[in-house]
Structures are given as C-alpha cells and as structure tokens.
Amino acid sequence: MNRTVTAGGPRVLLKRLRELLAAVMEPQERLDRIVREIAGNMVAEVCSLYVLRADSVLELYATEGLNPGSVHLAQLKLGEGLVGTIAASARALNLTDAQQHPAFAYLPETGEEIYHSFLGVPVLRAGRTLGVLVVQNRTMRQYREDEVEALETVAMVIAEMIATGDLARLARPGVELDLRRPTSFTGKGLNEGVGLGHVVLHEPRVVVTNLVSEDIDAEQERLETALGSLRLSIDDMLSRRDVAEEGEHRAVLEAYRMFANDRGWVRRLTEAVRNGLTAEAAVEKVQSDMRARMMHMTDPYMRERMSDFDDLGNRLLKQLMGRGPDQLAEGLPKDAILVARTMGAAELLDYPRERLRALVLEDGAPTSHVVIVARAMGLPVVGQLKGAVSMSENGDAIIVDGEDGRVHLRPQGDVESAYAEKVRFRARRQQLYRELRERPSMTKDGVAVDLLMNAGLSVDLPQLAESGAAGIGLFRTELQFMVAAQFPRAEEQERLYREVMVAAAGKPVTFRTIDIGGDKVLPYFNNVVHEENPALGWRAIRLTLDRPALLRTQMRALLKAAGGRELRVMLPMVTEISEIRQAREIIDREVRHLSKFAHHLPTSLKLGAMLEVPALLWQLDELMNAVDFVSVGSNDLFQFITASDRGHSMMAGRFDPMSPAFLRVLRQIADAGHRNHTSVTLCGELAGRPISAMALVALGFRSISMAPAAIGPVKAMLLELDAGKLRARLDAAMAEKGAEADTRGVLTAFAAENEIPL
C-alpha cells in the first residue's frame, strides 16, 4: 500500500531540500524556496516558518501563501495563538478548522483568515524548540498521520539549518535567535572559584550531518542491522557473570532491553527512514521528538526514563556511524569549561589541565571523586544542574560561579563584565593570601596548627611552595594508576615518588598506599566480582592484602625513592588492627629484601592508618598504639556514619557534617590521639572550608590537610581565631540535651562576633 499521497512524496521533497541547502544563495532566498517546495510537495496553499527568538517571540521568517509583506513583521509570543501553543508544548496541532480552536489568534497582516485546515509541527533539535513549521488549506480537512510524519521530518532538516547560524544574518540588530539565548542555571557549588570560558561537552552529542538518504532500502537494512547489534550487546551485558540476578544494575539493563525491542519505537524509526531520512537521522529525529515530549511530563519516573532513552539512542547512533567510545575533544580551547552529565576522576585527568577553567556536572556531590580531583586541580565546580548538557553547544560562552552555584550560558555583556571584575577581585584576594605564606599558622591564643596539602600527581607539586603548605598530608598514589593505560611499572612509581620527595624539600609527605576499588575503577584491572555496594566492598587495603604483589611492588618503589629521607606510609580503609599487622609484615619483608642487596633505605619509616571505617571508633586506643600516626578520612567516615552514598546527588547536603553527632565523633578521635601521644591529621573536605576548619581546631585537631587553594583562606581564619574561647562555646553547644543544638549556627555567630573571615 502506498502511504504517500502528496504531490511528490517526502523522499522527493527531502532531496530537493538537500539541493537547496547545498546551493549558494542568500539565507532569505533559501528559506523562501524551501517553504515553496514544501507547499508544492504537500499540496498545501500555505507553508510558513516561524523562528523562536531569544525574547520568547516567534517571528515569521518565510511564507508561501500568506502576505509576503508580513515576513519579519508578524509575531506571536511563546504560548500565544496556535503557533505559540505548538512551540510551548513541543507538540503538533492538526486542526480541521483552526479558527474554532480556543488558542487561535488572528494576525490581520498575514491574510490567513481564508484558510481553515491547519497542521503545525515544532522545529526540534535535541529536544529544544527552535521554531514552528505550518501548512494550511482553505478546505476543512484532517491531515493524515503520514503527512504529519512528513512535515516533522522536514522540520528536523530546518532545525539543523537554524543551528548552523545561517539565519542569524536575517535577525534585526539587537535581536537574537533562541538558540543563542542567554540561559542561567542554579545548582550546588561544589568548589569555589569563578571560571569564564567556552563550553566543551565531555560526551558531545553525536552530530548527524548526513540527513537525506540516497537509497531507502539500504538505509532500512542499516537500521535493522544496527538494532540487531544493539540488542545483542544488551543481551551480552545481561548474560555476563558480573551482572547480578537482581538489583539496580540489572533493572536498568532490563529496561534498556525493553526499550530496544519496543515495537512503537522501532516503527517510528522505520517510518522516518521510509520518509527519506538516513538511518542515523531517523534515530536523531525520533529521539528528539521523544525527548521534547518527555520533558513536559510531570511524572518524575517518566522524566528520569528520558536519560535511558537518550543513552539508548546514542548507542544506536554510534552503531550506525561506526564509532567507538567518544574520544577526548580535539582542538580544546585555551579556556575550556567541561560540561558533563557525570564523569569519573580519571576522565577529568585525561584533559590537559592548563586549558581547563571549570567543571559543570548535571549530577555530582561535594565528596565524589571527580569533584575531589577537580578541587585539587583548583577548578571551580558546580553540580546538580539538570538540563545543562542539552542546552549547551560546543563553543558556547559560559561562566561558572562555584561560590553561588550559578552557571550563565551565553551570558550577556554586562553579566560577563561583572564576573570579570569578580575574577579580578578574587585575584587580589589570592594575592593577600600569598602575603600570608610566610606567617606561622597559629591562632590568636598561640595554638599552632599544621596546614598540609593534598596531592596525587606531579603537576600538583609546584603548589606546595605557592600555597605555603607545611607539607603533603595526603598523597593519593592511586591517581597515577587511574590515568595510566596499564599498571605503572615499579620504575615509574619510584620515579614519581622520588620527584615528590625532592619537590617537598624536606617537608613531610604522607603517601597513601593504592586505594582502588569502589568508584575508583582501573579499566585494565579485571575485577570479576560484582558488587552491589562497591564503597563497602573489595577495595583499598582489603584488595592489596588479597593481592599482596600490588602492595609489595609499591612499597619497594617507595622505599627506594625515599633513600636517605623519612618515609611516611598510610594504609586506607583499615577496619581491624590485624590488617595493620599483615601490612607491616609485607613492608618489613620488602625492607629486608632491599637491605640484602644494599639499597639506600629511608632514615626512618613511619606507618599510619586512615580512620574512615566506623568500626575503628571502638578500637581507638588499640589503633593509636598500633601505628605512628592516624589520618581521619572525613569524607568516607561521614558517609559510612550517615549511611549516605557520597556520590549520590540526592544525598548531597542531606546531612550536615557540622552536626553535634559527627562533631562528637571527631572530638572522640582527637582526644584519643592526645591521650596516646599519637599524631592525628584530618584529610577531607572539612579541612578545606574555614568554618569547618575552625571547628576542627576547637575540637583539638592540630594538623589538617586540604586542597592547596584552601590553605590561604584557612590560614586567614586561623590568625583571627581564639581557639580556647571557641572550644568553650562549642563544648557547651554540643552538650545541650533535648532539641539538637545548632552547632553550625554557633560557629557562624562566633565568627561574626569576632570578625573572623570565612
């Protein structure tokens, strides 16, 4: 049965449009000829194109059949009239008698009062409405489903034409199209600072440039082959042993399998191909339609499924276009601001650091590892910005304010000027912090506090001198493993560790042994054990004790690199004292081995443990006597105590680490250190914020480790702090019975009363 009953059919129309897009002509002439071709092909007396402007006005850009003098004069606000309703809802309208519709708005300058039947479709790209395409006839008739599909297909081609910027030349001075509209988002500031630059999408949308097919049957075959490969890949993932029979991971994959086999989805893809699109253009069109409609749904479950559809569509596009995993963006601008739904720490480290200015995440939490790494790199970070990826285009101007959690996409000139001044102000403030570098980090009442920095790569080392840090309180050795394509050889590890110690120039450096597992996955490390809760699973010291060759190789590299110097080694994720004894036996064996071959050994070896597992809170005295020093991993300790995944965006900010309960835990640890004469350092997000660092000093911590950029603000706070006075105030607040004390409020009030900079 031949479904196409228009004059030439959609395939003929798409071919003509491709020729018009390729021809050299002025934009207005091209638009005029396009609407003429559409009208002729669809046997319509009218075809009109309305383009959405940045001021939410739909302007008539071209018409065949209406008064040509109304072009660029006829306008409708978003939501006004039939055209405005289509743009606002991202849904087509198919009417037998348009003038009877309650949303009908009469524009006398167009001369459209003689037309009754009306078909309008949104011009969509990546779910965004860029305009509206309309056909009209005098007779009262209902346009058929295949005609609606044909007009939607044509609208997709026009969307790409708008996106290229060609139509911007037709806009009046001072008027911008909606695609270039300034947009602001409010999320959660995850690292302070301001970044001005240009968008680099971490996982750029697959841009479909080949829209019109030459051979319908060949495109249909390509689509069916790609769908078959997609289904096989999902079945393969479901059959793997590392996918549990139940649980979230399997549920997501089962949903993918259901979508991939959905007859309605496949039918829409097939119809788009039959109408003359290439297989990849058909996928893009159907995905854009679905995305636009789901964005207007109020059901949160259905809106969340949108990301599943997006991912499935992208997988299918990559199958069709023969692409593997997305490669690092080439031609990265000098002021790149990464915009991503989510990303791993290793992926961030793949980018050249000197070109990055900030990071924007649709998800993200303050203690997720990508945020920790970004903080160490000194990048402003804003997270929990739903929709940021779909609203952004590579190369868009963007401003990221990590203090207020604001992101300005395609900002106006005055906004850009204001933030440029804010950047200059921050630079002046950083100069003030640099002037404090040589001053002792001591409170007003004479309490000395060691301010250390966190590091993980050789690029961090210059900041040791620039920040004025007293040493490196946490060197994350796993970062070297995460950025490598395979396990770093012993020689490579030794070279890095020696470089770190030379750069420290006698200042203490604490190396944490390799802490992989959980969300820190090495692609070349084959962990065949599926874990429903990786943060609670086979990671850190648990993994290295089970794979002692990893620990032996790393310790041998550390011992050789530290020849003639003090070596400080810290064990992560310790749960039982026996784990420390097992690790010490491995280390002692390596010391004996190197001594046997007369290697230059460290002058002293100090072994420490990270306190991040709550079980150690009931073994504090035993712990303090089993090691030379203790480091509190406040990020993990807090997530385990509150049973909240630190990488989960819905949990971010739900519980306050400045609550009396957690402060009591920290005071208990600090008291145990003093009681047993064991040095205790806190490494984590709490150390890097002046208000929480102020609390740590009052609780008894005399050594804290943080991102290099935080040392200046924390030292400025210390110099104005009376620690004894604050301790009395905080102890009283934490001792309150009944209603929970507002300890954060107490800290804020104390700082205001004593003019302490926060």
Active site residues: 369, 683
Bridge partners, residue 314, by sequence: none
Question: Which amino acid type is present at position 506?
Answer: G
**Other CB atoms within 10 Å distance of the CB of residue 454:** 25
Q: Give dist(CA 741, CA 22) in Å, integer.
A: 70
Phi-psi region of 716 (alpha: psi -120 to 50; beta: other; left: phi over 0): alpha
**Other CB atoms within 10 Å distance of the CB of residue 589:** 14
Query: Is the CB of residue 402 less than 8 Å from the CB of residue 193?
Result: yes
Sequence-separated contacts (24+) of 143-148 with Cβ below 8 Å: 143/94, 143/117, 143/119, 144/5, 146/3, 146/4, 146/5, 146/271, 146/275, 147/6, 147/42, 147/119, 148/92, 148/94, 148/119, 148/121
Q: Give dist(CA 260, CA 254) in Å, integer.
A: 10
Query: Is the CB of residue 224 less than 8 Å from the CB of residue 288?
Result: no
**How far out from the chain centre does Cα 726 lie?**
38
Q: Give dist(CA 399, CA 337) in Å, integer.
A: 9
Q: Give dist(CA 535, CA 520) in Å, integer.
A: 10
Cα–Cα distances (Å) from 526 to 265, 487, 521, in that order, read 36, 12, 10
Q: Give dist(CA 183, CA 390) in Å, integer.
A: 12
- CA dihedral angle for residue 735, residue 738, residue 744, residue 750, rounded to 10 degrees: -60
Structure tokens belonging to residue 256: 């993918």
Helical residues (DSSP H) of 562-688, grouped into ranges: 577-596, 620-626, 634-642, 660-675
Q: Are strands 679-683 and 703-706 parallel, antiparallel or unpaired?
A: parallel
| DSSP assignment string, 106-165 | --GGGTGGG--EEEEEEEEETTEEEEEEEEEESS--PPPHHHHHHHHHHHHHHHHHHHTT
Structure tokens belonging to residue 461: 């080392």
| DSSP SS3 for 385 | coil
Q: Give dist(CA 471, CA 560) in Å, integer.
A: 20
Bridge partners, residue 134, by sequence: 48, 120
Task: Classify the C-alpha dihedral 74-80-85-88 as positive or negative.
Answer: positive
First to last CA, the chain: 74
Q: Give dist(CA 589, CA 366) in Å, integer.
A: 39
Q: Give dist(CA 92, CA 86) in Å, integer.
A: 6
Report residue 606: phi and psi, to 5°. Answer: -110, 130
Question: Which amino acid type is present at position 281?
Answer: A
Rounded to 5°, the CA angle 718-722-728 comes to 125
Q: Give dist(CA 211, CA 205) in Å, integer.
A: 16
